[in-house]
Amino acid sequence: MTMRILYVISILLILIGLAPLFGLLFGLFVTEMTGCAINEGTINECILWGLDWGPFLTYVTVLGWLMILSWPIAGAGGLMLLVLLFVSLSRRLKPNGDV
């Protein structure tokens, strides 16, 4: 595999691992801006643009618990990215043998 494909795979792993965090932050941001009450026990209504976003915001914020399982995926992607960067740097700094 080429290095470019490995870079793409490692960045995708990081994004997949952090996806629940992005959803949680989005849900908390929207609930904070609208003043809605969102909790894990019940689904409250949250009217935004004439639609009830309460169930969606509840599901998105509850899916934040998925981070417990997905952060190791992001960590593996980050470790893979660090190794790739180290290999790329070592290839660039490698002497050609000409003295």
**Predicted confidence (pLDDT) per residue in 48-68, tens digit:** 788 777 788 888 888 888 888
In sequence order, the 6+-apart residues with CB closer than 8 A to the CB of 59 are none
What pLDDT is stored for residue 10 in this prediction? Answer: 92
| pLDDT tens per residue, range 13-24 | 999 998 888 888
Establish if 49 belongs to a structural domain.
Answer: yes
The reply to whether 4 falls in a domain is no
In a domain, 93, yes or no: no
In a domain, 60, yes or no: yes
Q: Which domain holds residue 78?
A: 11-21+35-87
**Which H helix or E strand runs over 51?**
strand 51-52
Assessment of whether the complete model's pTM goes beyond 0.75: no
Q: Is residue 96 part of a domain?
A: no
3 in any annotated domain: no
Residue 68: the pLDDT is: 87
Is 99 contained in some domain? Answer: no
* Residue 12 near residue 4, CB atoms below 8 Å: no
Residue 53 lies in a domain: yes
Domain count, the chain: 1
CA dist 90 and 76 (Å) reads 21
